Chains A and B, each alone.
Chain A
């Protein structure tokens, strides 16, 4: 029976080659392969004992972004020969690792980016759990880019389940998953998609204000939700922001890194400030301060102006001192310079 099938494949292949000497049309080639691989039960047993399914669903592949432009052997090079040459695969993971590099042939740019990623660092160390292209994109059902955004977060969730659970409850996650909101960030908006960095580094930590700021300083987006766009500038003007700005230069290794957005607001579990139980609500803030300033008392959180710019209504003392110096410095320096000028004028006149 297998022999019969092989013969029929060979006949089809020969017919295809004879009929179109340039190259067989992709769909014809796919049909050829699916002659065998369209069988739901087609599988093989690997030396590891795993059963490797060899079935490819024709509909799924045709609907994928590659469905109308790639044939099978463009990725599965060397499989044109029937029966297929033996491959030294021991595990199902070996198979994946052997084929994912085929993506590089067309997607050189994104493939190269992944080499800088935290995932690739693990792949290079031989961590079989670390993802390669096809783990996120799938092998035969690669979707178009402009699909549903929630799919991106659900893809990451396949490995990062606890993080996804926290995100799903956050203000961003709920808007995405419950309302299909397209303004909120999904995983890749903050972590990037191919060149995903290690989020535990001080470099990533210190880049946070810029990262959050890329949406939270956008007037058009923030206006929809009644949010202030001054959150980054007010942070940078305050003590933590100054420290973070100066630590960014890079020589600060070994220093305790200044608090950034996520240290107070949370990372994946960010909530609305006014939501019950919000850690950064005025009433709860002292506990947040105490994470770093262990001895902080009830007065201490008032040192932080809550992302407000000082004004007579929000921080009258700070505003008053600002206005005082705004007048006092030009008054004093102006007066002194005027006296210098008058003195010089007198010296010149006396001569």
Chain B
């Protein structure tokens, strides 16, 4: 069972790579603005060539990120509406899966939940990313063009957008360095590194272990009887 099965299309792999790079640039150019009075913040801004250039980098990366998000959502809607796949949309089973898995962790159930193509943790992270990305994009544009924003919105929304942008960014960063790094690198299931989002492939053994419903659909339930 060591043969590799396809998991991600080239489009998805490129998207992940782009988000990974853009997220890093956004964090590196964003946090010095959030923690402007810290020495490391000034040091970072100096290295980047001043606050104007730091902001330029931040805004260009943000615009690119927004473009990727819009393309992604549009493509996902097309795929969904043409009936090909809604596999990333949370369904009732995800909540029962979460409960089942937590019960298993606590020793109250014998088996963990059997997951489909995406488990509830992956869906949680994905939707956090998409919805958080929406908040970051909307508030980011308000901060980028405050004068324009104030033509249509109450002025107080500008400092509110700043608080939201700054905190949502912090939340996204914390989720990535705890949850994502754990699930993609540090978890004993994948340690040291889950390469499937880069190679597009996953071993049949892992797919069977982590996403049994998807595995059975792909390989065929008949072929795989214990």
Contact = CB atoms under 8 A, between A and B. Distances in A.
B104 interface: yes
A318 B159 contact: yes
Contacts of A241: 36
A246 B157 contact: no
Contact of A245 (B37, B146, B179): B37
Contact of A329 (B37, B50, B170): B170
A302 interface: yes
29 contacts: A236-B36, A236-B37, A242-B33, A249-B43, A249-B45, A251-B45, A251-B46, A293-B146, A296-B150, A297-B150, A299-B150, A300-B146, A300-B155, A301-B155, A304-B155, A304-B159, A315-B159, A315-B160, A318-B160, A321-B163, A321-B164, A321-B167, A325-B168, A325-B170, A333-B175, A336-B179, A340-B178, A342-B106, A346-B104
A227 B37 CA distance: 24
A236 B33 CA distance: 11
A321 B155 contact: no
A238 B159 contact: yes
Contacts of B168: 325
Interface in B145-189: 146-148, 150-151, 153-160, 162-164, 167-168, 170-171, 174-175, 178-179, 182, 187-188
Q: Across the A-B interface, give the 3 residue pairs with the lowest CB-CB distance, nearest first.
A: A302-B155, A325-B167, A303-B158
A245 B36 contact: yes
A246 B163 contact: no
B102 A339 contact: yes
Contact of A300 (B46, B107, B150, B174): B150
A55 to B, nearest CB: 58
Given A325-B171, A346-B105, 4 more contacts: A249-B45, A303-B159, A322-B163, A329-B171
Interface residues of A, number: 50
Interface in B176-213: 178-179, 182, 187-188
Interface of B: 32-33, 36-37, 41-43, 45-46, 49-52, 54, 102, 104-107, 121, 143, 146-148, 150-151, 153-160, 162-164, 167-168, 170-171, 174-175, 178-179, 182, 187-188
B42 A349 contact: no
Q: Which of A243, A303, A328, A340 has the most B CB atoms < 10 Å from its CB?
A: A303
Interface string A218-255: 00000000000000000010110111011111111001
A337 interface: yes
Contacts of B174: 329, 332-333
A332 B175 contact: yes
A160 to B, nearest CB: 33
A255 B50 contact: yes
Contact of A295 (B37, B50, B147, B163): B147
B105 A247 contact: no
Contacts of B151: 297, 299
Contacts of B182: 340
A317 to B, nearest CB: 4
Contacts of B36: 236, 241-242, 245-246
Nearest to A258: B51
A310 interface: yes
A113 interface: no
A115 B108 CA distance: 80
A128 interface: no
Contacts of A320: 160
Contact of A255 (B33, B43, B51, B164): B51
B147 A293 contact: yes
B178 A333 contact: yes
Contacts of B50: 246-247, 251-252, 255
B159 A251 contact: no
B150 A342 contact: no
A347 B188 CA distance: 8
A325 to B, nearest CB: 4
B156 A345 contact: no
Residue from A241, A300, A328 whose CB has the most chain B CB atoms within 10 Å: A300
B150 A246 contact: no
Contacts of A310: 159, 163
A302 B175 contact: no
Nearest to A247: B51
B41 A239 contact: no
Contacts of A104: none
B192 to A, nearest CB: 15
Contact of B107 (A249, A317, A336, A349): A349
A347 B191 CA distance: 13
A344 interface: yes
B147 A300 contact: yes
A303 B146 contact: yes
